[in-house]
Amino acid sequence: MRAAIVSLWNSAMPVARRLFGRKIVLAAALVLLLVTGVAVLYPLLSDADPGAIEIGQRLHAPSLEHWAGTDELGRDVMLRIVHGARYSLLIGVVTAAGAVLFGTLMGMLAGFFRRLDAPLMRVVDAMMSFPDILLGIALVSILGVSLWNVMLALVIVYTPRVARVVRATTLVLRELLFVDAARALGVRTPKILCKHILPNLMSPILVQVTFIFAYAILAEAGLSFLGVGVPPDIPTWGTMIAGSLDYADRAFWTIFCPGLAIVLTALSLQMLGDGVRDLLDPKLRKAA
Amino acid sequence: MLRFLLTRLAGAVVVLAIVAVLVFALTRLASGDPVALLLGDQATTADIAQARIQYGLDKPLPTQFVLWVGELLQGNLGQSLFLQRPVSQALLERAEPTLFLALFAVGIAALIGIPAGMSAAIWRGSAADQAVSSVAMLGASIPSFWLGLILIQFFAVRLGWFPASGYGDPSASFGERLQHLLLPALVLGLLNSALIIRFTRASMLDILGEDYVRTARAKGLPERVIMVKHVLRNALVPIVTVLGLTLALMIGGTVVTETVFNLPGVGNLVVRAVLRRDYPVIQGTLLVIAAIYVFINLGVDFIYTLVDPRIRLEGK
């Protein structure tokens, strides 16, 4: 057990050192850690209610007491951003996980089995011929407005993207010697897929996770803005902006601050994804 | 060459057929009866049944699908439930702002993206390269409606340089229209330049590694001549491709921006249709936009084969 931990540590350290060697990637990782940490811990440690309405405190500009000011109902914008982070991050995680799960399955099947390739990929092509946001609003309008339906719609929107990437890599992997060798040894196809193909797909999948995480946060905000996203009573960064639209002229901070949270998080995720891609790219090239 | 194009055309037709099935299935799976919504609370059950027959909603789903595709092939996208006009007419009326906005935005994106991507490639690894890459990533991290709201606050509300929303009077001149479109086009152009920057940089770097560039350098040609004559001209093909694809994506991707700036375009039409469950309009818009995307893709492939003989020969 101890030996296993030591060996894992020894193999992980050089990778981490290379990944975080670029200062900007390290900064991105720290920002994400901070956002996640605050989102998870703060509501546990403080019982301040993000929905507490104080009409006397309406539309106050940012101050020491209210770091990001107050909104049209006197609610503390910063407190709502912190609570909203839980929902926005949840949407990002669930969407990325769902899209990766279904996309990987689709992509592996299409890439490995020639007969399935054309039919599956034409469906992927068809789904990708709708612009993301248009498909998103059509799906949410049909499923109905709710937190889970937004996630379901976004999973459907981003699954084809993962499928395409996974298929392309699987096509390369399928032709490699170790797959031939496994087949020659009589390893069954499901086992080849799980033990030989899947582990080698991890790097492109990891990159997709970070990007889809970021896109999902952005897409949720867009959908909520259009009124076909998360219901307004749930504080996500998107619904906060959507809810304060009419006050943009008088209280700019009510839309500016939640948007800044979106930009910071999405940017950090993409920077991290980019760092991971740079790190893993040479390996991919070798495989090809 | 002909065979290559025919294969691609057949592929596009298959994709469009799947698109039609998806669009049909999508709107029929919906919860909420559009007819009941259309007729309001006053309608009796008999009224609703009558209207369902009138709109053909009483027939079995496969029959509805066949009838619908038959109409589509005759260019009939159906009748809007709320606008008292055919969907195709509603789309045509809304096409102009969306088309101009998309073209304008792609122009801005190209104007930013191509020079930025070129300089990032030429000075690869430098501080400028990293700055360009970071800015490109920033562009992909900003919600378009949020940037739109900020620009409206700053340039329209505070400074009063541009109209905050709308598309001007019906009789407005082209210049006035452009003024209305500048801010939304700036939003879309800035945010979509990221892809063009990345693409330009990558395709320039590809060409910079070619032997003939080394030969040109060895001949002692000035760097400027090499960059323009040898590198940029060859890098242009993929760049034009990505411009075409950006335009295709933009035509349907203007939904949010049109809503922020209250532009009477296709995006605005579809958002209202979604809120009212006007299924024929949703179906028609999704279908037309997906078809435009597929055909622009096909057109890009076609241009590609004309410009680059390698692709033409590969098909043989």
- Residues of chain A in contact with residue B140, where contact means CB-CB under 8 angstroms, are 214, 266, 270
Report d(CA A238, CA A240) in Å as an integer: 5
| Single pTM value for the model | 0.85
Judge: A137–B150 Cβ closer than 8 Å, yes or no: no
Q: Is residue B282 within 8 angstroms of chain A, CB to CB?
A: yes
- Residues of chain A in contact with residue B27, where contact means CB-CB under 8 angstroms, are 142
Q: Supply the pLDDT for residue B36.
A: 66
Q: Is residue B131 within 8 angstroms of chain A, CB to CB?
A: no
Residue of higher predicted confidence among B13 and A247: B13
- Residues of chain B in contact with residue A226, where contact means CB-CB under 8 angstroms, are 255-256, 259, 271, 274
Report d(CA B234, CA A118) in Å as an integer: 32
Q: Is residue B246 within 8 angstroms of chain A, CB to CB?
A: no
Q: Supply the pLDDT for residue A105.
A: 94
Mean pLDDT over A56-67 rounds to 70
- Residues of chain A in contact with residue B16, where contact means CB-CB under 8 angstroms, are 126
Q: What digits encode the pLDDT tens for the residues B34-83? A: 666 666 667 777 777 777 777 677 777 788 888 888 888 887 877 787 77
Q: Is residue B205 within 8 angstroms of chain A, CB to CB?
A: no
Comparing alpha-carbon positions, the chain A residue that sits nearest to B30 is A142
Judge: B255–A131 Cβ closer than 8 Å, yes or no: yes
Least CB–CB distance from A241: residue in B11, B146, B270: B146
Q: Supply the pLDDT for residue A90.
A: 92
The mean pLDDT value of chain A amounts to 83
Cβ atoms of B180 and B163 closer than 8 Å: yes
Q: How would residue A64 be classed by pLDDT, with cut points 50, 70 and 90? A: low
Comparing alpha-carbon positions, the chain B residue that sits nearest to A144 is B31
Q: Supply the pLDDT for residue A200.
A: 85
Least CB–CB distance from B252: residue in A130, A218, A271: A130
| Region of residue A74 (left: phi > 0; alpha: psi -120 to 50; beta: else) | left
Q: Is residue A168 within 8 angstroms of chain B, CB to CB?
A: no
Q: What digits encode the pLDDT tens for the residues A41-53? A: 877 777 777 777 7
- Return the minimum-mean-pLDDT range out of A74-78, A230-234, B152-156: A74-78
Whether A107 shows a pLDDT value over 60: the answer reads: yes
Q: What percent of chain B has pLDDT over 90?
A: 6
Q: How far is B133 from chain A (nearest CA, A)?
A: 10
What is the number of CB-based contacts under 8 A between chain A and chain B?
136
The CA–CA distances, whole Å, from B269 to B141, B272, B279 equal 26, 5, 12
- Residues of chain A in contact with residue B141, where contact means CB-CB under 8 angstroms, are 214, 218, 262-263, 266-267, 270
Q: What digits encode the pLDDT tens for the residues B230-270? A: 888 888 777 888 888 888 888 777 888 888 888 888 888 88
Q: Supply the pLDDT for residue A288.
A: 35
Judge: B286–A129 Cβ closer than 8 Å, yes or no: no
Report d(CA A206, CA B67) in Å as an integer: 45
Q: How would residue A251 be classed by pLDDT, with cut points 50, 70 and 90? A: confident
Q: Which residue has the tokens 């070619």?
A: B210
Q: What digits encode the pLDDT tens for the residues A154-194? A: 999 999 999 999 998 898 888 888 888 888 888 888 888 88
**How many C-beta atoms surround the C-beta of residue A118 within 10 A?**
12
Mean pLDDT over A258-266 rounds to 90
Judge: A123–B29 Cβ closer than 8 Å, yes or no: no
Q: At what angle do helices A132-143 and B233-253 cross, to 10 degrees?
A: 20
Least CB–CB distance from A222: residue in B27, B31, B145: B145
Judge: B143–A214 Cβ closer than 8 Å, yes or no: no
Which of the given ranges, A4-8, A102-106, A219-223, B239-243, has the highest pLDDT on average?
A102-106
Cβ atoms of A140 and A223 closer than 8 Å: yes
Q: Supply the pLDDT for residue B313.
A: 60
Q: Is residue A37 within 8 angstroms of chain B, CB to CB?
A: no
Whether A74 shows a pLDDT value over 80: the answer reads: no
DSSP code of residue A197: I
Q: Which residue has the tokens 């691609």?
A: B8
DSSP B12-55: HHHHHHHHHHHHHHHHHS-SS-HHHHHH-TT--HHHHHHHHHHT
Q: How would residue A281 be classed by pLDDT, with cut points 50, 70 and 90? A: low
Whether A287 shows a pLDDT value over 60: the answer reads: no
Q: At what angle do helices B127-139 and A253-287 cross, to 10 degrees?
A: 120
Angle at A147 between CA A74 and CA A66, to 5 degrees: 20
List Cβ neighbours of B191 (8 Å cut-off, separation of 6 or more).
Answer: B139, B140, B142, B144, B147
Comparing alpha-carbon positions, the chain B residue that sits nearest to A270 is B137
| Exposed/middle/buried for residue A284 (C-beta within 10 Å: 0-12, 13-18, 19+) | middle
Q: How would residue A95 be classed by pLDDT, with cut points 50, 70 and 90? A: very high
Q: Give me the residues of chain B with pLDDT under 70, please.
A: 1, 30-41, 55, 168-171, 307-316
Q: What percent of chain A has pLDDT over 90?
A: 22
Cβ atoms of B103 and B246 closer than 8 Å: no
Least CB–CB distance from A130: residue in B274, B277, B289: B289
